Amino acid sequence: MNKALLPLLLCCFIFPASGKDAGWQWYNEKINPKEKENKPVPAAPRQEPDIMQKLAALQTATKRALYEAILYPGVDNFVKYFRLQNYWTQQAGLFTMSARKAMLAHPELDYNL
């Protein structure tokens, strides 16, 4: 019986010894060569329209939408005008809020005090 166990025990000790010691996962990660980073080519700076031109274009679009809604009544024409009118109302509200913040930050601007 001892003679039969001896080769079996030798096989049990030899096979694990020939195995690869893996260790932790991060020790076995493959190292990829550094890839060249593609730097984005800066696009040509876009020309912003002048603030006065933008304001004039918005006012013209609002007037045109109003006149079109009056001359050609319809749901689409009214919706177009109403959206532009809501834009102006929203901008006025934002302006009012920024004026209030400015008065709080700089009380010397408020002539009522």
- Give the C-alpha separation, 92 to 99, whole Å: 11
| Cβ density class 14-48: b for 16+ within 10 Å, e for less | eeeeeeeeeeeeeeeeeeeeeeeeeeeeeeeeeee
Domain locations in the chain? 51-108
Average pLDDT value over all residues in the chain: 81
Neighbours of 61 (CB within 10 A): 14
Residue pLDDT, tens place only, 17-72: 555 666 666 666 676 766 666 666 666 667 777 999 999 999 999 999 999 999 99
Confidence tier at 6 by pLDDT (50, 70, 90): low
